[in-house]
Structure 1
Amino acid sequence: MRVEIWSDIACPWCYVGKARFEKALAAFPHRDEVEVVHRSFELDPGRAKDDIQPVLALLAGKYGMSEAQAQAGEDDLGTQAAAEGLDYRTRDRDHGSTFDMHRLLHLAGERGRRDELIGLLYRANFAEERSVFGDDERLVELAVAAGLDAAEARRVLADPSAYADAVRADEREAAELGARGVPFFVLDRAYGVSGAQPAEVFAQALSQAWGDRPRLTPVQGVAGDAEACGPDGCAVPQG
């Protein structure tokens, strides 16, 4: 079974939702047969790379609230993150473009290190003091920590077209599937789960999607089954 997760590094509910989903997956009896694929989604796709601002100012301006109200929301997020065992800085974080991060994540996907990199990016953005925005060397450090080659990561960051089409393709697909926000989970292209749901909801979705998978109907040969190999070995032709 395949689970695709559309998310953005700037999205705190994606950070929390990933932890909740992983808790449900860890308890799922068929977890070793579940492939998890992370997909790109930018909450602020038109934002320039050098357009960086404090999170509280962003929230206050976007939602027409005071910075005190925005801070209260951040404090609540910190509490919910802590309940999932996550560190969360409720003050002095900033916000910027995540396009380069998504491009690096596609490189990481080709190298089999996407899950490692997305975890490091989330932690760097939400739990650590040093910003992940507007600092290519910071992103290179995180890419190396995830197991990527530093020179290769720098080449991707230096070329704005590298993996750009892959990021945009993920975003178009999210729109086609009806995603209006993230995190957005798609199970076997049959079930969608929107938002950072409790682990129990993810557990139910996994069980339902697993149970509803189409069953293979074997086609028998005219003369019965042909020779094949199995757990007990291979059929030996008889003379």
Structure 2
Amino acid sequence: MRVEIWSDIACPWCYIGKARFEKGLAAFAHRDEVEVVHRSFELDPNRPKGDTGPVLEMLARKYGRTLDEARAMEAHVASNAHSEGLGYRTEGRDHGNTFDIHRLLHLAKDRGRQNELLDLAYRANFAEERSVFDDETLVTLAVEAGLDETEVRAVLADAGAYAEAVRADEREAAELGANGVPFFVLDRRYGVSGGQPAEVFTQALEQAWQGRVPQPAGAPAGEEAAACDVDGGAC
């Protein structure tokens, strides 16, 4: 069975949702027969490369809140991250264009290191004092994930490298009706949106495995999904 996960490195609920999905997968009896594929989704695709700024200011501007209210929003997300054993900095993080990160994740997929690079990028963005919006940081992360430095630099230098792969993922997300992330598609029969609790993912995996009639793509009835939307990039 294949599970496809559309996500963006700028989305904190993708970071949290990945951890929750992995816990849900660990509790699934057929976990060794599940292939997980991470797919690209840009929350702010029109933002120019190199245009970065503080997350708190972006949140305040996007939602019409004060900086103190934005800090409270970040504290809520941090609490959820910490409950999953994840590090999360509420101050000093940047927000920017993620297209190059997605291109490198496709390279990493071809080299069998996609999950490793994704974990490193999430940790750098949300838990560490490293911005993921400059090429040198991306090179460092990719090498840490096990990729060849020369190949990584060549991909970053060629704006067309893996660009169509990223765009194809995004078109497919639109066709599936995804307008936010994380978005999980199980064996193309069942969809779950948002950073759901681990037990929701286990239930969804069991339902997809048994081949039951699928519910419409989205969160199971009665569950509120925490997700990032497409009109600015954060939650």
Residue 14 of structure 1 pairs with residue 14 of structure 2: yes
User: What's the counterpart of residue 231 of structure 2?
Assistant: none
Letter in 1 for 2:18: K
User: What's the counterpart of residue 61 of structure 1?
Assistant: 61
Give the SS at the match of 2:195. Answer: coil
Distance 2:49 2:126 in 1: 19
Give the SS at the match of 1:118. Answer: helix
Q: CA shift at 1:65, angstroms?
A: 1.1
Give the SS at the match of 2:180. Answer: coil
User: What's the counterpart of residue 178 of structure 2?
Assistant: 179
Give the SS at the match of 1:39. Answer: strand
User: What's the counterpart of residue 218 of structure 1?
Assistant: none
User: What's the counterpart of residue 127 of structure 2?
Assistant: 127
Q: CA shift at 1:64, angstroms?
A: 1.1
User: What's the counterpart of residue 219 of structure 1?
Assistant: none
Distance 1:165 1:46 in 2: 16
Q: CA shift at 1:213, angstroms?
A: 7.0
Distance 1:136 1:171 in 2: 23
Task: String of CA shifts for 1:24-76, please: whole Å, max 9, x gaps.
Answer: 10111100000000000000001111110100111111111111111001011
Distance 2:178 2:119 in 1: 22
| Aligned pairs (5 A) from 1:1-239 | 1-133=1-133, 135-212=134-211
Q: CA shift at 1:18, angstroms?
A: 0.2
Task: String of CA shifts for 1:55-110, please: whole Å, max 9, x gaps.
Answer: 01111111111111110010111111000000000111110000000000000000
Distance 2:23 2:118 in 1: 17
Structure 1 unmatched runs, 5+:
215-239
Structure 2 unmatched runs, 5+:
214-235
Distance 1:36 1:21 in 2: 10
Q: CA shift at 1:130, angstroms?
A: 1.9
Question: Which entry has the higher C-alpha Rg, 1 or 2?
Answer: 1
Distance 1:198 1:27 in 2: 12
User: What's the counterpart of residue 222 of structure 2?
Assistant: none
Q: CA shift at 1:137, angstroms?
A: 1.1
Letter in 2 for 1:102: H
Give the SS at the match of 1:38. Answer: strand
Q: Which TM-score applies when normalising by structure 2? A: 0.89
Distance 2:2 2:195 in 1: 19
* Count of residue pairs brought into register by the alignment: 213
Q: Which moved more, 1:176-185 or 1:55-64?
A: 55-64
The alignment yields a C-alpha RMSD, in angstroms, of 1.0
Distance 1:172 1:39 in 2: 11
Distance 1:136 1:25 in 2: 33
Question: RCO higher in 1 or 2 (8 Å CA, sep ≥ 6)?
Answer: 2
User: What's the counterpart of residue 217 of structure 1?
Assistant: none
Give the SS at the match of 1:139. Answer: helix
Distance 2:212 2:201 in 1: 17
1:103/1:211 CA distance change after superposition, 3 Å: same
